[in-house]
Amino acid sequence: LAKTTQPISMDSYEGQEVNITCSHNNIATNDYITWYQQFPSQGPRFIIQGYKTKVTNEVASLFIPADRKSSTLSLPRVSLSDTAVYYCLVGRDSGGYQKVTFGIGTKLQVIP
């Protein structure tokens, strides 16, 4: 499995754009990049997924360079409710089982 590296914590003021970068140098050809969000005492929630280039949904954008060795989750205009832990995952389906690893994640603190 490709190992991912992301900052342990980040602070941001409300209304700012937040970019969290994840490094995954050993990503395999069939791997997808997925980000999850987790609030305290809750299960993680899927945010966004991509394979290459840029993906955008109603919550976030995901930027993936051509070499796919890193990815950046972009949260536009964060609010206090975006305070959470964000996990970057690299993985794929393997015979019906999703081979992924949840690391420590990035703890985002949004400040008023």
Partner 1 sequence: DGGITQSPKYLFRKEGQNVTLSCEQNLNHDAMYWYRQDPGQGLRLIYYSQIVNDFQKGDIAEGYSVSREKKESFPLTVTSAQKNPTAFYLCASSDSAGKSSYNEQFFGPGTRLTVL
Residue numbers of the site for partner 1 (CB under 8 A)? Answer: 31-32, 34, 41-46, 49, 51, 87, 91-93, 95-98, 100-105
Which residues have C-beta within 8 Å of that of residue 7, sequence separation ≥ 6?
Answer: 20, 21, 106
With b meaning 16 or more CB within 10 Å and e meaning fewer, what string describes 56-66?
eeeebbbbbee
Q: How far is the CB of 19 from partner 1 (least distance, A)?
A: 21
Longest dimension (CA), the chain: 46
Identify which of residues 43 and 112 has a Cβ nearer to partner 1 in the complex. Answer: 43
Identify which of residues 16 and 26 has a Cβ nearer to partner 1 in the complex. Answer: 26
Identify which of residues 81 and 112 has a Cβ nearer to partner 1 in the complex. Answer: 81
Q: How far is the CB of 27 from partner 1 (least distance, A)?
A: 12
